Amino acid sequence: MGVFILGIAGSVIYLSLIFNNNLWVDEAFTACIIRGSFTEMLRGTVSDTLPPFYNIFTWILTAVFGYSSYIMKLSSVIPMILLLLWLSPFHISRLYGEKCAAVFNVCIICAPHLIHYGVEIRPYSWGLFFAAAAGVFALEVLVSAPSDLRKNYAGLIAFSALSGYTHQYALIPCAFIWLALLLQALPAFSGGKNFLPARLKALGILAAAYLPMLVLTILQLRRAGSYFSMEPLSLHSFLSDLRFPYVTNITPVSLVLLLSIAILLGFCVISSFKNKRFLIPLFLMLLPYLTLAFGYLCSAAAGGNLFTSRYLVPSLGLFWLGASIAATDSEGLFNNVTSGLFPVIMLSSLIAIYPQEYRSEYAPGAAAMTAYFDENLSSGDGYIIYEDKYQIELCMRYYYPELKKYEWETADECSETLWYFEVPGYENYLDEAVSHGYEAEFVSNMSFDRYAFTLYKLRKIQ
């Protein structure tokens, strides 16, 4: 019952963050793809560099319940609810007990980044869910009775395939799980039992299921270098990625969280020499770092950056499962200390991060901006903007798809009001207005999500 209560509380926390229209550029990009017809959505999805599951699922959801940011954010919350109210109470509880399932729910509610990526209009939360479910069904396979083995293999195959159809970096932790299963099936580790043929057969079924996506992924990644705008990898980015799972933006809380995980990792290493079962939580807690190493190796091989810290998110469900197992499976003196203290430490993380996320999601700028434009825009209006990476422009395609962007050379083609968005750092570009025969009237300072601009109305000089 306690696991379900925690699951309901966590679901409410996630749902409390979806009732806003505050999108950043990646969300706006995804939302614009989903806005079109089914054919247009598929065409936009294929031309992107991400697999299709999230866009297809969210398109169906918006087709049924209406196109809005609330429904698209709900699409991202659904997998977090499934973690809390299905995977944890029905599977993790059976594998490791209700105490472990309860601590896992606390982690899913409280861990850094999960609330943020659990409401963002992007595929990371679904990738996290599918990878976590694949890992849990892999654990089920290890302990299955013969009558349940086929069902658990089916779950492992299905969720592993779905992870690959959701995000390339959601497939990576699944790949390491399959590698561990194959190694464990070798006679030297399986106690003489011949598990290898069954697992190779299951892997073959997974390969066949993933093959269509593999073809699409290869085509997408061939042009990923020109599409991605990520900074080159460096020692600084590597260190930042290493601490990604613990970052709360409140340094003392982040350090305590890091220290607690380091203690659990150390405990698993020491305990594994006495009991091999501690290798499981140790392996799960290492998955983000195996994913990180794989991402850096792929980037080095490609000659450009194909990795950013948010690609660790799909592995974090298994990471926090490993921490939950370690905290509740400790022996002797440590059992009461870790299982009692670790959830409290996680709660301090939620206290640190939830107000930040709430302020970000419900920042008043987006509502003020849309209220003004809803009242003052005409169908023939256009705008001019200078900015880096076209972020505000891409967001405007979501907020006001009919609002056309112009350059100074084509400004005369605008049939109605011509607006100017002055982005911080590009203030000098407004001086060009006079040379092109326009004068600028200040309207307002506007903002939404992480973006800000000063709005001007341009008038032709008589």
Give domain limits for the chain: 2-361, 365-460
Specify whether the CB–CB gap between 372 and 270 falls below 8 A: no
Burial, 103: exposed, middle or buried (Cβ in 10 Å; 0-12, 13-18, 19+)? Answer: buried
Specify whether the CB–CB gap between 54 and 75 falls below 8 A: yes
Cα 118 from Cα 108, distance rounded (Å): 10
What is the distance of C-alpha 415 from the center of its chain?
41
Cα 280 from Cα 319, distance rounded (Å): 11
Asked if residue 189 has pLDDT above 80, the reply is no
Q: Looking at residues 63-69, what average pLDDT do you find?
A: 97
Q: Could you please report the per-residue DSSP string of 355-400?
A: HHHHHHHT-THHHHHHHHHHHH--TT-EEEEE-STTHHHHHHHHH-
Phi and psi at residue 146, to the nearest 5°: -50, -35
User: pLDDT grade, residue 71 (50/70/90)?
Assistant: very high
Q: Can you give the pTM of this predicted structure? A: 0.94
Q: Looking at residues 354-365, what average pLDDT do you find?
A: 94
pLDDT score, position 188: 67
Structure tokens at 81: 């609810």
Q: Looking at residues 243-250, what average pLDDT do you find?
A: 95
Phi and psi at residue 270, to the nearest 5°: -65, -45
Asked if residue 9 has pLDDT above 80, the reply is yes
What is the distance of C-alpha 41 from the center of its chain?
20
How confident is the model over 254-283, as pLDDT tens digits? 999 999 999 999 989 998 998 899 999 999
pLDDT score, position 333: 43
Specify whether the CB–CB gap between 101 and 93 falls below 8 A: yes
Q: Looking at residues 345-349, what average pLDDT do you find?
A: 96
pLDDT score, position 461: 86
1 or 403, which is more confident: 403
User: pLDDT grade, residue 47 (50/70/90)?
Assistant: confident
User: pLDDT grade, residue 337 (50/70/90)?
Assistant: low
Among the CATH numbers 3.40.190, 1.10.260, 1.20.1300, 1.10.3470, which is that of 365-460?
Answer: 3.40.190
| 447 three-class SS | strand
